Structures are given as C-alpha cells and as structure tokens.
Amino acid sequence: MFKNLNVWLLASLLVSIGVLIPIFTVFFSFFEDTSSYYQILKDTFLFEYIFNSVTLLISVLILTFLIGVTSAYLVSFYKFPLSDFFKWALILSFAVPPYIYAYSLTAFFENYGTAFTILTNLFGEGEYNRNIPKFDGLFGAVLSLSFSLYAYVYILSRASFLYQSQNLIDLGRNLGFSKFKSFHTLILPAARPAIVAGLSLVAMETLAEFGAVDFFSINTLTTGIYNSWIAFDDLAFSNRLSFFLLIFIFACFIIENFSRKKAKYHFNSRGGFKQKEKITLSGNRSFFAFTFCFIIFFLSFLFPLSQMLYWTIKFPENLFDINIISLTLNTIYLVTLSSLTLILLSLVSNYGNRVSKSKILNFLSTISISGYAIPGIILAVAFITFIAWFDENIVKTLGFLSIKKVFIGSVLGLVLVYFVRFYSLAFNGIKSGYEKINISVDESSYLLGYSKQKTFLNIHVPFLRNSLLFVFILISLEIIRELPITLILRPFNFETFATTAYISASEDLLEAAAVPSLFLILIATVFIMFTSKYILREK
C-alpha cells in the first residue's frame, strides 16, 4: 500500500483533506443542539426564508436565461454595428457585484435620487417622486442579481454556439427550416448542456448571495445564517440553516456537473467541423440586435458605473473620508497572498494527481473542489465552528494556548477560507491547462533523464504559464468582489473596497459607498480586460 506513497501524493492528499474540513463541519454540525431560536424561527420565519430564496432563484434564472442566451445568440451568429465590441463588453457586468448594483439601483430610483435630479434638470421642479418606480425589495434583488450574473449564461452559451458547426446550420437550411425554427429545434438543443451549466452557476451564486439581499432586507436562507450567528450568537443554528441551503446548492452542483459531462459530446470539433460564417444584418434587424445588446450593456455595466462615478463627483468629500491607499494595499495584500497560496498548492495537487494516478486522491480532489458551490457565508461560519471545536477539544486538552485568535479575525483565517472557497477555480484552471499536456510529454521527459521534480519545474510550469496567469487574475477578481467571508473573518480595522462599501451602505450612507464601489468596479474591469482574451477565445 505504501509502495506508491510519494511526496507529491502526500502533499496533494493534505491539500484535499484541508479543503474538505469546513465542508464536512457543516454536515456534522447539523446534528448538534441549537438554542430556542431554532424553534421560534421554525414556527415563524423559516418558511419565509425558503420561499424568498426559491422565488429569487426562479426569477433570476428566467431573467438570466433570456438575457444571456439572446445576447450570446446575436453576437455569435450575426454581424451588426459594434457586434465585435459587444462580444466582450457584455462580460463587463462581472465587474459589478450584485450588492453594488443594488446600491446603484436604489441611488438612482430612490426619492430625490439621481432620476429625480435628471427630471428636475430637464423639466424643472415637480412631484416626480410619486411617478418614479421603486426597484427595491425582492424585485430589486432580482434585477441586481440578474444583471450581474447573466454573463455566466452568456459566456457558456456563446462558447457552445461558437463550436456549433456550420454544418448544423446548413442542415437546417437544407431541410427548409426558417431561422427561428433552426434556432429552437437545432441550435438551442445542441447548446442545452452549456446553458444549463451557466444557469447552474447563476443558481449557486444566487443562493449564496448575501450583500444585495441584505441591503434590500429580504429574508433568505443566507441572511438567516448571518443573522442567527451575528444577532442570536447561535452558531449551531447557523450550521443547520447552512445544511438546508447546501442541499439546494448540491442539487445545482450535480445538475451542472451532469450537464458538463454531456457537453463534451457537443464540443467535438474534429471531423466535419466547419467554421461558422456570421450573417451580416441590415435594416430593422440590425437596429434591433444593436439596441438589445446596447441596452444590456448599458444596464449591466454603464448604469452602475456612471451612477457611482456621478456620486463620487457629486460628493468629492467622500474621496478623502476613506483611505484609498490603505484599501488598495489591503486588497493587494489579500489578493497576492491568497492567489499565490492557491496557485502553488493547486499546482502541487494537480501534479500529485497526475503522477500518482491514485483513485482515492482523484475522488478527494473531485469533492474538495465543491467548495466553490458553498456560499462564502457558510464556509466562514463552518470555519469558525471547526476552529472553536478544535481549540476546545484538542488544543486545550493538550494544554496549549488557545489558537482562536490566530485563525479567527486574522489574515491567516481569511486566506484559509478564501482557499477553500476558490480552490476549485485554481484547481480546475490549472487542470484544464494540464489536460493539454499529453502524458507522453511527461514520459518523454523522464526518458530524457529528467526527474519528476525537474519535469514539473522545467516542462510543466513554463507550459502552464498562461493558465497560471489566467487563474491568478480570476482569483483576484473573485477576492476583490468577495463580501461575506471578508466581512466575517477580517481582522479588526482591516477593510477592503467591498467591506467599506457594504458598511457605508448598511449605515444608509449610499453616497459614501460610491467611492469604494467605483474603485472596485474599475479594478475589476481592468482584470476582466486581461482575462477576456481567454474567456472569449474562439479557437
């Protein structure tokens, strides 16, 4: 049994087990006793939590499907004014997290908000507040989440449309199908796995969303978890709610995995693949395609960006109220530390999987990447639960000093939980790079006299350079936008752009939230522009 044990296998096993600890903690905590709060809540709000979560989920799924698939179809099959620009502009919505979208929506439509100011400037003073619609509550949350998350559906649908052979379209024409019939009988079914995969990601993010729903004061399972811990100090109950939420999320996760496996059959580009020729639109059709894409681009990116920019300019004093340098340094510190740890250990883990060919390790790796499906808030609570248990039952029993302070409310704890949350991004990103390296390349290297270490350093790492850069940017983007983990686990007085925006917004100081939100959007936009080459690659 120990014959095949080597340093790579051991390191990979440790990484996988480390990632799995908080995930298992949630499941084990389900059986612990909770305070009377559980009983009260069960009789009163639990149904509301579930109802709101499900309503939010279904609404966001419908809206992201409509926006994502339509825009992907238009830019993949047709040429119209600025279609090449929209191709990448439509992914910029990733730069605007749902909570910042929520702030923008409120800021624009609230009484005496931006819409009111515009109307006053245009038409003079009037009772406009009564006629300006209020996008708040559940509806506001649906819009915020949809415009922020539709890009998942857009990217995956577009990739699928792109890989559909011209033969498929020619076949439709040959059978005398109209464009609409070709779309719903041939193109859409062929892209179904990719669309389902995109929608599953949207579902996971929606169920995990904390910032926007908290801002609109909607009681969902996520806010329930936060409140039961923060307001009622009932960690066990937080875990119990997390368990319910995880069941929902794992269902999405399984659907997503299932769809991806199927998707492989659709992305076969060998034999018979013919690059698609885009159709140039003219007249009304061209105008419609342009208008649709522009509206989506405007609503998802330009609107929140300009709202935040407008307020930053309107209330310049807020620029000096926050320490931008300190926030930037904190962000760089977190991003660098977390990304490097993630990349380094994911590399080791991937290489361990590759050389050991161990089935146990493969299984552990597969379940350890489920961390991405688990909401940050659950991971943070599970981490605290585990550290508290470990401190009480192991550390103190052995007579050592408490380790709570080392892990809770420290950068170390924050990095560890980021690690669990984003491990799948790093692991899968590097894995997809590794899949391009044929195993005979490794074998050739051994036969040229290179050891495993030398093969790793001289052959794999240089080859994976681009994948590593991509993973680094992707993780950085996620950490910059991340809110609940940072909020719960950050050290005292340690703020990021996301937490500063959240704190200002939760104190009803939306105009003060504009500055960190604007910086966050701008930094995220730069990162997206770097990654767009990979996300939108056509070969």
CB of 539 to other proteins, least distance (A): 11
Q: For other proteins, which is the closer residue by CB, 84 or 443? A: 443
Residue 216, helix vs strand vs coil: coil
The nearer residue to other proteins, 205 or 442, going by C-beta atoms, is 442
Q: How far is the CB of 160 from other proteins (least distance, A)?
A: 24
- Closer residue to other proteins (CB): 7 or 329: 7
Q: How far is the CB of 298 from other proteins (least distance, A)?
A: 40
Provide the minimum distance between the beta carbon of 535 and other proteins in the complex, in angstroms, as a whole number: 21
Q: Which amino acid is present at 275?
A: Q
Is residue 368 helix, strand or coil?
helix
Which residues lie closer than 8 Å to 43 by C-beta, 6 or more apart?
none
Q: Name which of 122 and 447 has its Cβ closer to other proteins.
A: 447
What does the binding site for other proteins look like in residue numbers (CB under 8 A)?
Answer: 436-438, 440-441, 443-451, 459, 462-463, 465
Q: Which CB sits closer to other proteins, 275 or 451? A: 451
Residue (330 or 445) nearer to other proteins, CB: 445
Q: How far is CA 459 from CA 342, 348, 355, 445, 450, in A?
A: 20, 14, 14, 8, 9
32 SS3 class: coil
**Chain centroid offset of residue 360 CA:** 28
Shortest distance, CB of residue 269 to other proteins, whole angstroms?
Answer: 14
Identity of the residue, 427 or 434, whose beta carbon is nearer to other proteins in the bound complex: 434
Least distance from C-beta 7 to other proteins, angstroms?
A: 14
Nearer to other proteins among residue 279 and residue 448 (C-beta) = 448
What is the closest distance, in whole angstroms, from the C-beta atom of residue 316 to other proteins in the complex? 49
Q: How many helices (H) and strands (E) does the chain have?
A: 28, 2
**365 close to 349: Cβ distance less than 8 angstroms:** yes
Residue closer to other proteins, measured from CB, 111 or 269: 269
CB of 454 to other proteins, least distance (A): 8
Tokens of 387: 């550290």
CB of 440 to other proteins, least distance (A): 4
DSSP for 379-433, please give it.
Answer: HHHHHHHHHHHHIIIIITTTTPPP-HHHHTTSHHHHHHHHHHHHHHHHHHHHHHH
SS3 readout for 51-71: HHHHHHHHHHHHHHHHHHHHH
> At residue 482, what are phi and psi to the nearest 5 degrees?
-60, 135
Tokens 């489920």: give the residue. Answer: 370
Query: Residue holding tokens 């279609």?
Result: 83
Amino acid found at 268: N
Phi-psi category of residue 276: left, alpha or beta, with phi > 0 → left and psi -120 to 50 → alpha: beta
Number of Cβ within 10 Å of residue 130's Cβ equals 7
